[in-house]
Amino acid sequence: MMYWYGSGMSGWGYALMTVSMILFWGAVIAGIVALVRYVGRSGQPPEASRSSQTPPASQTPEQLLAERFARGEINEDEYRQRLAVLRGEGQRTNGQARPPAGASTR
């Protein structure tokens, strides 16, 4: 039989064991949470790519164009030009400019 002094583990041993157990269980719980979040959204596209897909059916093309102008994606001249195209104003037919809708052709 060997002659040991006490139980062989000091206060630092107990502290290290407690800290390592907390870190281990924290890593296990974080892994489970990450796995559940990943599996839960695997069938859905991320938010960033969802906004670049087709717009909701309730938005008109003019509203969508206004949003792009508000975000600064297009400038004022491009906004007005595209808005005129959407409304059918000033479109060309056979190389000649078509008068705006509602204007007389005389």
pLDDT digits (tens, 9 = 90+) for 21-46: 999 999 999 999 999 998 888 766 65
Tokens of 63: 């509203």
Q: What is the pTM of this model?
A: 0.37
Question: Which residue in 71, 74, 78 sits closest to 51, CA to CA?
Answer: 71
- 63-83 burial code (b ≥16 CB/10 A, e <16): eebeeebeeeeeeeeebeebe
pLDDT tens-place string over residues 55-89? 556 888 889 999 999 999 999 999 999 999 988 87
